[in-house]
Structure 1
């Protein structure tokens, strides 16, 4: 498993992005994400299932936000 990033997708407010028909964005973070995934999936490993988890932190009124605000 590879911890990739959901910021690989273009910002979208009309519909969701997913691995089937999501729209890949552009810019620095997308360049890093596509390079990271390309390296992860490169090479011949026929007996190995590879999964790139495209995750992102969602901030709200919770512990992650409080921890980040405490850093300031």
Structure 2
């Protein structure tokens, strides 16, 4: 698991809420903020490069045979 590489401590029966090291907390913050932001920017870039006009939309619907 990726979080184990940064020192994440899994809860156990003895320790239900272990104190996480700063490296694990930092990794969680990165995975919850920067990674989604980068993926969103990539999605926006792909959408920007694929302009969907009304004519193109109708053409795609015809190709799919959807009315």
Tell me whether the two structures share a fold, i.e. TM-score over 0.5.
no
Q: Which protein has the bigger strand share?
A: 1
Q: Which protein has the bigger helix share?
A: 2
TM-score normalised according to structure 1 size: 0.27
